[in-house]
Structure 1
Amino acid sequence: MNEHSGDTPIPWRVWTVPNLVTMLRLVGIPVFCWLLLVADEYVAGAIVLAVGGGTDFVDGYLARRLGQESRFGRLIDPLVDRLYILVAVAALTLEGLLPWQFTAALLAREAVMFVTLLLLRWRGYPPLSVHYVGKTATFIVFMSFPALVLAGLPIDPPMWAQPLGWALAWWGIVLYWLSAALYVGQAVWMTRPGQRGEMVAQ
């Protein structure tokens, strides 16, 4: 969720429509884990993932459309996105639907971003502004997971699920690393003498 233009400060408000959407997405994370790891309901789990990932843009759109942008929303929205990806990757890896190489590549990218943001915070800089490449990469990675879950059905998995899932997964991870490079470059630029900006990276 972006800041208002100008110098008007963004209020810290929790009970807004876009924040409610974000909270509902957050509730979907344990529901997905239960469906996949406990109940073995792959189709239902894929639906929860698709809804959780497909509504990634909804909360930000509603915040701008309704004039309900908030500091809480700017904090919780990228956090939920990151939790969705990390939890989904962990669950799919445990179920044998993702190879460890893919998981390692994604976790390494997260480690790079964590260190970058930690160093910026330590030096007193604000968080990084979200880049459209990062949002696009997050969405594509999200959308690969439901297809990969369906590809793991023990009986009659859809023929399209595996090729589509892996096409999205590898395309998404490449963009994910590209966005990390852009964020690191942005951080380096920000820390140059006389440069200050605003950033929450995706």
Structure 2
Amino acid sequence: MLTISRFLLIPVYLMFFFNGYIKIAFLILLLAGLTDILDGYLARTRGLITQVGVMLDPLADKCMMITVILSLLISGMIPWEAAAAMFIRDLGMIIGSAFFHFRGKLTVPANVMGKLTTVLYYLAILFIVFELTFAITYLWFVIIVSFVTSIIYIIQFLLLNRKDKAEYP
């Protein structure tokens, strides 16, 4: 239910953002982040981790992040090059995860680097919303970190599925 609530917060975020309540929209984004933390905590502590959850949880995060990227781009708060880099990375992660999930491949759960990247993105958005002078430079730093994180995920995915294939010929 918490994962679904993050999907439902997307139109709420958009409503506030495009009606000029950008700081409130940022609070909605933070609320989505808090539900993500709570969702993960409950799943781990209660043994409720499922393959569907492993796939839907990051999908909810990616959908929210793509929404934020597009809203910041449309409003002129970030350059198109940064939006394109973030969009390509997130869309690639969504399509890749769905493609391999529906082919029966194991999905790599979130790791420390992924969580760190998310926190860094939230900070970048905070800096952009409050129009800090270094916000866009910091955003580019986070974009680089996110691509490194993606490479780590891809390596983990390949190792996990190679190991799975070797164990079950």
Task: Tell which has more relative contact order, 1 or 2 (C-alpha 8 A, sep 6+).
Answer: 1
Counterparts in 2 of 1:44 and 1:162: CA distance versus 1, 3 Å:
farther
Shift of 1:87: 0.5
Deviations 1:128-154 (A, max 9, x none): 232221221123213322331232xxx
User: Normalization by structure 1: what TM-score?
Assistant: 0.68
- Residues 27/114 of structure 1: CA separation in 2 closer, same or farther (3 Å cut): closer
Counterpart residue number, 2:15:
34
> Residues 146 and 55 (structure 1 numbering): CA distance in 2 closer, same or farther, change over 3 Å?
farther
Give the Cα separation in 2 of the matches to 1:174 and 1:113.
Answer: 15
Aligned length: 165
Report what 1:196 is aligned to. Answer: 164
Is 1:171 the counterpart of 2:141? The answer is: yes
Which of these residues, 127, 141, 150, is aligned with residue 180 of structure 1?
150
What secondary structure sits across from 1:127 in the alignment? Answer: coil
> Which residue of structure 2 lines up, in the alignment, with residue 134 of structure 1?
114
Rounded to whole Å, the distance in 1 between the matches of 2:102 and 2:56 is 21
| Cα drift, residue 55 of structure 1 | 4.2
From 119, 125, 133, the counterpart of 2:105: 125
Letter aligned with residue 164 of structure 2: R
Structure 2 Cα separation of the partners of residues 189 and 42 of structure 1 = 42
Contact 1:89 1:103 in 2 (8 A): yes
The answer as to whether partners of 2:73 and 2:79 remain within 8 angstroms in 1 is yes
Query: Identity percentage over the alignment?
Result: 24
- Segments of 5+ residues of structure 2 without an aligned counterpart are none
Residue 108 in structure 1 maps to residue 88 in structure 2: yes
Deviation by residue 1:7-60 (Cα, 9 ceiling, x = unmatched): xxxxxxxxxxxx3x33333322111111111x1112211221222234432210
Higher fraction of helix: 2
Counterpart Cα distance in 1 of 2:102 and 2:5:
32
Q: CA RMSD in A?
A: 2.7
Question: SS at 1:188's partner residue?
Answer: helix
Aligned to 2:45: 65
Partner of 1:76: 56
Structure 1 residues not aligned, in runs of 5+: 1-18, 152-160, 198-202
Per-residue deviation, 1:114: 4.7
SS at match of 2:20: coil
